[in-house]
Every structure is written in C-alpha cells, then in structure tokens.
Amino acid sequence: MASIIPVWVLVLAAAVVIAVITPSFEYYTWLPVTLGASIIVTFVVQLSLQRKEGFVGRLTLTSVGSLIILSVATLLLTVLR
C-alpha cells in the first residue's frame, strides 16, 4: 500500500486543481488526461520498486483506485456545474 496511496493522493490533488483552475467546459478534457498520466506514474512507481511479487495486483489496485477517484470527481463536477 505504500506505493499505491501516493498515486491516489496525486490523482486527488490533480482533480482538485482541475476543479479550481480550469473552466467548466474543459473538465472533460483534463480528467481523462489525468487518468492517463496516473497510469504512467503508476508504472514508473511500481517498476522502480523492482519487486516481482504482486506487481499486477499493485498496478490493478492503483489504476482502479485512480479511476474511481476521477469518476467521483467527474460526477461531482457535473452535478455542481
């Protein structure tokens, strides 16, 4: 979990920055970009650990968690817009 939570925090911070800085018509542009960037960051973090055990599980958990965080952010931004 020590390598998973920092990526989730980064994704949450990115979602907050997107909500605060970007105009509402650009939400749907930047949130998918954030998901793509989080997948790249996930691979970098997990490959830097150089541990084979649980690699796929850590990738899956991190990616699905990021997807859930951004899905909730999208839902909130849509409702509050």
Predicted pLDDT of residue 35: 96
Mind listing the pLDDT tens digit for each residue in 11-69?
999 999 999 999 989 999 999 999 999 999 999 999 998 888 999 999 999 999 999 99
11's CB contacts (< 8 A; 6+ apart) are 34, 35, 38, 65, 66, 69, 70
Predicted pLDDT of residue 81: 79
Whole domain around residue 15: which residue ranges? 5-80
Give the span between the Cα atoms of 10 and 3, in whole angstroms: 12
- Greater model confidence, 49 or 74: 74
Give the span between the Cα atoms of 32 and 24, in whole angstroms: 14
Please give the tally of structural domains in the chain: 1
Predicted pLDDT of residue 28: 92
